[in-house]
Amino acid sequence: MNMSLHWLRIRAIARRHWYVLLRSPHRLFDVTVWPLIDVLLFGSIGVYFTRGGGPPTHASQVAFGYMLAGVLLWHVVYQSSIGLATGFMEETWSRNLLNLIVTPMTEIDYIGGVALFGLVKLATGLIVVALTGLGFYAFHVTDLGVAAIPIVAILLAVGWDIALIVIALTLRFGSSAEPLAWGLLFLVMPLSGVFYPIRALPWLLRPIARALPTTHAFTAARAIYAGRSLPWREVGIAAVSAVGLTALALMFTAAMLATFRRRGFVTRYS
């Protein structure tokens, strides 16, 4: 395997998506306006519920921090997922798919290129969240500390997994599956306990929530924000279930790609 050749292709795809972002400023909405609105919305709700009844206590301060830390970490999932899924959709919107799939580029090269550029969008989104949180609510991202790194890594992987599932469904069902790029995230978010422990969920939904890697990642994040040490058990469960989800997402995508080639769905985009 010629790694330099793969790296050349990955960079070519990443650069293509950089040009797309540069020349379509409205696509910056996802990475600038949306994070800003999220911080304003959840930050203001947090201020109202934790400080509205009187002077802030330690408990209310921590609860407030949970909300903004939740927004920040949720955007790791959101931005990584949206970056990869809409990057692929860009090829369907511009009818570029046939030209791409007849090149020597492998599927891994392509996903690598879009995901690499997605990291730029992710970083932009997180900077917006961090600066808005700091400027409006005196929320310091650094309070999470280096212990947040494994949590961020798990959430990044889950975001990419969700995007792979969306890509697979788009390959199979065409553009009608595109709304799932956002829809799946809004399904996962409340079940993951981003802003609250999952015991706050209706009992029927708790087993589903426990099966999600994101739930354990956010539980671990809340623990470190509260000043406790990193709960490795939660991180371990999150990591193992994220690996399982990644394997399932890859197998599902490979199966849908095989169906895409077998049933000639590429003609939808040519």
Partner 1 sequence: MPHSSVVGDVLRANGLVKAFGGVCAVDGVDITVGAGERVALLGPNGAGKTTTLLMLLGAITADQGTIEMAGYRLPHERSAAAGQVGFAAGYLPLAERLRVHEYLRMYGQLYGVANPSDRIARTLERFGITHLANAMGTELSSGQRTLVGIVKAMIHEPQLLVLDEPTASLDPDVARRVRTNLLEICSERGTALLVTSHNMVEVERLCERVIFLSHGKVVANGTPDEITASFGTTDLEALFLHLADRQRAHGTGRSETT
Stretch 174-213 residues interacting with partner 1 (CB under 8 A): none
The candidate with the shortest Cα–Cα distance to 115, out of 145, 79, 75, is 79
Q: Is 25 in the site for partner 1 (CB under 8 A)?
A: no
Q: Is 95 in the site for partner 1 (CB under 8 A)?
A: yes
Length of the chain, in residues:
270
Residue from 91, 161, 178, 234 in contact with partner 1 (CB under 8 A): 91
Stretch 102-141 residues interacting with partner 1 (CB under 8 A): 102-106
With the CA atoms of 193, 199, 204 and 208 taken in that order, what torsion angle do they form, in degrees rounded to the nearest 10? 40
Please identify, among the stretches 97-105, 149-157, 177-185, 201-209, the one whose residues bind partner 1 according to the rule CB under 8 A: 97-105
Write down the number of H helices and E strands in the chain.
Answer: 10, 0
Q: How many residues bind partner 1 (CB under 8 A)?
A: 36
Please identify, among the stretches 62-70, 184-192, 220-228, 255-263, the one whose residues bind partner 1 according to the rule CB under 8 A: 255-263
Report the C-alpha gap between 220 and 147 in whole angstroms.
Answer: 9
Please identify, among the stretches 66-74, 159-167, 184-192, 257-265, the one whose residues bind partner 1 according to the rule CB under 8 A: 257-265
Q: Is 268 in the site for partner 1 (CB under 8 A)?
A: no
Two structure tokens written together for 252: 């599902």
Percentage helix, strand, coil for the chain under 3-state DSSP, each rounded to 5: 85, 0, 15
Nearer to partner 1, 14 or 163 (CB): 14
Cβ at position 26, least distance to partner 1 in Å: 12
Q: Is 258 in the site for partner 1 (CB under 8 A)?
A: yes
Residue from 44, 57, 99, 175 in contact with partner 1 (CB under 8 A): 99
Q: Is 255 in the site for partner 1 (CB under 8 A)?
A: no
Handedness of CA 229, 149, 190, 36 (dihedral sign): positive
Q: Is 266 in the site for partner 1 (CB under 8 A)?
A: yes
Cβ at position 261, least distance to partner 1 in Å: 4
Two structure tokens written together for 213: 């890697």
The candidate with the shortest Cα–Cα distance to 63, out of 226, 227, 231, is 226
Cβ at position 176, least distance to partner 1 in Å: 19
Residue from 28, 62, 100, 250 in contact with partner 1 (CB under 8 A): 100
Cβ at position 109, least distance to partner 1 in Å: 8
User: Exposed e or buried b for every residue in 112-139, given b needs 16+ CB within 10 A?
Assistant: bbbbbbbebbbebbbebbbebbeeebeb
